[in-house]
Amino acid sequence: MADVLSARRAVRLNLLSAGSFVCGGSLFAAGAALAQRDPDEPRVAAVTYLVGGFFFSLGGFLSVLLAGRARSRARLSAVVLFVGTLFFAVSLVAAFASGLTPRQSNGWIWFPDIIGCVCFLASGHLALVDVGDGRWVVRPGVLTWWVAAVNQLGSAFFFLAGLAAFIRPATDQVVNAGLVNWGTFAGAVCFVGGAVLQAFDTPTSTRTAGLVT
């Protein structure tokens, strides 16, 4: 009976985590679209990102709970992901500050953001290695692999967007605003797709579902 209840709890956590990432990814995609459409009015996009960041953090926290009894790589992947969402949160809150110099913007907004991106990439790597039983392998017939792979692709897009968001002190402009927005949009769409796949990837007593990246 205890095993049945544990399995049911895992299924609920998995669905809640997937739903949180769907919300977070959708809001990040919307924020990127708003920023691209109207770059002179960043406030609405910033609020959209902030709410999306809350759902990303919630999804990350639920992933940690879900991975509580999983193998060590899966647990570590979930924890690193959650830490990454917290770095994103720092960046998203700092984005509301006004009058920042380029150096301050890079320190309070860009730096936490790029650290969060690195955490996402590291988490994705751990998840893919976990799916491959200690190796980086391609397993197209395994749904968990697809969840991890799609999310890792999204993490790569986030990382590229993060690099492009660095503000050049000489010009007070980001390296490439278009790449910031479209990279964020593409990464967010990947996480939505990964979350949808996760919802169908039922966890068992020996492993979690794939969305720990």
- Residue 52: other Cβ atoms inside 10 A: 23
Distances (CA, A) of 100 to 53, 130, 151: 22, 42, 33
- Residue 207: other Cβ atoms inside 10 A: 18
pLDDT at 135: 82
Which of 73, 54, 67 minimizes the C-alpha distance to 14?
67
Q: Are 127 and 77 in contact (CB under 8 A)?
A: yes
Please, what are the averages of pLDDT over each run of 10 residues along the chain (213 residues)? 64 94 98 90 92 97 85 89 97 92 94 97 95 86 94 98 94 92 97 96 58 41
Q: Are 203 and 209 in contact (CB under 8 A)?
A: yes
Residue keyed to tokens 């809640």: 16
pLDDT at 204: 54
Q: Where are the domains of the chain?
A: 2-200
Q: Whole-model pTM above 0.75?
A: yes
Report helix, strand and coil shares of the chain as percent, to nearest 5: 75, 0, 20
Distance CA 138, CA 159 (A): 22
pLDDT at 205: 44
Q: Are 201 and 10 in contact (CB under 8 A)?
A: no
pLDDT at 208: 52
Distance CA 12, CA 6 (A): 10
